[in-house]
Amino acid sequence: MIDDHVTRHVARLARLELTESETVQMQHELSAILEYVQQVQELDLATVPPTTHAIPLENVVREDVPTPSVPVELALREAPEVHGDGFAVPRMG
């Protein structure tokens, strides 16, 4: 159903490092799940609109009032690595 190439491509899109054995297992499991879920393709749905939310809401707005934001030191508290007043990240490849 999905091959090794697609599995690796999707893992890359999802930013997930998979080991070789995880990749093989993932390919089998995803194929089995996709085989099951493709029953949604049996139905003729050409005239049926999609549902994104079951309880529809429109134009939800609130007053545009400034409120205090999170203090910098609190925002950085849980970061694995901090540089000055910011989050430290590895260099872009």
Partner 1 sequence: MALTDLTAEQSITAIAAGRTSSEDLVRAHLERVEHDDWNNFLAVNREAALARAREIDAMPQRPPLAGVPIAIKDALSTRDLTTTAGSRILEGFRPIYTATCVARLEAAGAVVIGKTNMDEFAMGSSCENSAYGPSLNPWDTTRVPGGSSGGSASAVAARQAPWSLGSDTGGSIRQPAALCGIVGVKPTYGAVSRYGLIAFASSLDQVGPFARTVRDAALLLQSMVGRDPMDTTSLDWPDPIVLPTAGRLDGVRVGVIEELMGEGIEPGVRAACRAALRRVESLGGTVVPIELPHASYGLATYYLIAPAECSANLARFDGIRYGRRAEATDDLLEHYERTRGEGFGPEVKRRIMLGTFALSSGYYDAYYGQAQRVRTLIVRDFAAAFAEVDVLASPTSPTVAFRLGERTADPLSMYLSDVCTIPVSLAGLPSLSIPCGLSDGLPVGLQLAGPAFSENRLFDVAHALEAAIGFDPSPPGVTA
Binding residues for partner 1, rule: CB under 8 A, are 2, 6-7, 10-19, 22, 26, 29-30, 32-34, 36-41, 43, 45, 48-55, 57, 60, 62, 70, 74-75, 77-81, 87, 89-93
Tokens 């997930």 correspond to 16
- Rounded least distance, CB 4 to partner 1, Å: 13
- Rounded least distance, CB 18 to partner 1, Å: 6
Going 67 to 85 to 81 to 17, the CA torsion angle's sign is positive
Identity (one letter) of the amino acid at 84? Answer: G
Question: Under a CB-based contact definition with an 8 Å cutoff, are residues 4 and 23 in contact?
Answer: yes
- Rounded least distance, CB 29 to partner 1, Å: 6
Tokens 């872009």 correspond to 92
